[in-house]
Chains A and B, each alone.
Chain A
């Protein structure tokens, strides 16, 4: 089942679901003819999209609102914070082409602070699936949650067979390493997976964690990894500020623990706009280049 079919089925099964978009139909192109007036396209109007979603949720609906991540979370930020956040309404915000997925669009389209600003809103939860299968495993539970959610839409074809067990606030543990552990989420999961294999081949016992929800966050796995790893790598397509590195730092301070951490994120910069495979090379995010960067870091220990 793909995302569009899931929405169609949910909408037909449960009258609470309303599918909305600010004229971004890439993932939901075939829905209008299938669900009729349960599909609302407000045009290129992110504020109206979010405000209307709040007004629908007030009457018991669960609106699933789509737009590109940057425009949804930033153009309409105050509507999300004020209408959905303060109201604690079960609106689901689905951001398209988040992070590196914006490819060659340029910095206007690079949502690299979306997690930071969404998780800063009281009541708001954040889900960042690793690929299409991971998204589909978790999505029905996420969409049925009584909480508001921001979802980084990710339809990347999977390289890994994910655990079908999903609990909000619990990470998917791919493996636990004695030397290195990589904490990641979203589209870079596939690169992290290959990187972990390369590090293993170099003789480092390497683990990999797919965080899945960044809010609520799996504090247990973070504490465990910080305590047990020689090096914890935090890999994310997000600004260094406010994303998983910040979450790990906050967790470490909260529980008074420390560990050697190597964050790989965008520090005060946007990434080079290009096709995905070329961005990875330019920004040193291919499995081979990531492996080299991590090996250099572990040499310092």
Chain B
């Protein structure tokens, strides 16, 4: 991955975070989880998934399912920045004249299926992956899950079934921000050791830094579509990433900010982003 590409992705992620922050006023949104998966979505839509505004109805496209639907502001923002969704529609967030609400739905171009109730889209993605296999197509089916979502029994049911169906075109990603709604995951229902759990369920398991485009490229480029096994990637992330004032704060899950607070957060994002851009560019060189 070139320095120019990294900078381009960082700029896109910055814009997506701006969209998310703006959506957290006038009714608010699930900002913490949205910010944690922003870099993952930006990476997927710009480097990994074969889906764009020209092929969004083509059966040969790659399919992306957002199972942890409450972080849809990150998806809305990413769809805008990849040209699938008209930017002006973000102004309709939570308005009755549109469908830009707290969970994704198929009235939004690029959204493959609605979600919001946790624990659903792994099995839905499996159905679509099975269909692609039947059609002998090469397309990938990717589903993003939350780590809190792993509390749901339906996830473990589906995790058990997918390897037996040999769905090697299926890639599940865990946004491992180590938080669920109100608490740290390990302070409630302990998830660790996660890799070992998935391995014992017969999945290919990978780990990545969900905020590093270089590291995601390293891990995702190794995924084989012919291994006979589905793949699961644990992406280590930080809830609220990009805004130190809300990062890893338990009560910054759903927030409805005032306009003044939004202005402050946008300044905070800009300041933080400049520091990151500088340091990571140096690191690449």
Contacts and interface: CB of A to CB of B under 8 A. Distances in A.
A86 interface: yes
Interface residues of B, number: 30
Most-contacted residue by chain A among B127, B130, B134, B153 (CB, 10 A): B127
A32 to B, nearest CB: 14
Nearest to A43: B161
A51 B123 contact: yes
Contacts of B119: 47
B120 A51 contact: yes
Contacts of B128: 55-56, 58-59
Given A37-B134, A51-B120, A87-B113, A56 B161 contact: no
Chain A CB count within 10 A is highest, among B113, B121, B130, for B130
B124 A54 contact: yes
Contacts of B281: none
A51 B124 contact: yes
Interface in B92-146: 106, 112-114, 117, 119-134
Interface residues of A, number: 27
A53 interface: yes
Contact of B126 (A52, A61, A79, A86): A52
A55 B64 CA distance: 12
7 contacts: A47-B154, A47-B158, A51-B122, A52-B126, A58-B113, A59-B127, A86-B114
B124 A43 contact: no
Contact of B127 (A37, A47, A51, A78): A51
Contact of B164 (A43, A47, A60): A43
Given A45-B157, A52-B124, A58-B124, A40 B130 contact: yes
Nearest to B112: A58
B59 interface: yes
User: By CB atoms of chain A within 10 A, which of B132, B153, B157, B164 has the most?
Assistant: B157
Interface string B52-72: 000000010000000000000
A48 B123 contact: yes
Nearest to A51: B123
A24 interface: no
Interface string B16-47: 00000000000000000000000000000000
Contacts of B158: 45, 47-48, 51
A56 B157 contact: no
A43 B133 CA distance: 19
Given A59-B59, A86-B114, A87-B113, A54 B157 contact: no
Contact of B161 (A45, A60, A79): A45
B228 to A, nearest CB: 15
B127 A52 contact: yes
Shortest beta-carbon contacts, A-B, top 10: A55-B127, A51-B123, A52-B127, A55-B124, A59-B131, A56-B127, A55-B128, A47-B154, A48-B123, A45-B157
Contacts of A58: 112-113, 124, 127-128
Interface in A145-173: none
B160 A43 contact: yes
A249 interface: no
Given A43-B160, A55-B127, 17 more contacts: A38-B134, A40-B165, A45-B158, A45-B160, A45-B161, A48-B123, A48-B154, A50-B123, A51-B120, A52-B126, A54-B123, A58-B128, A59-B59, A79-B120, A79-B154, A83-B113, A83-B120
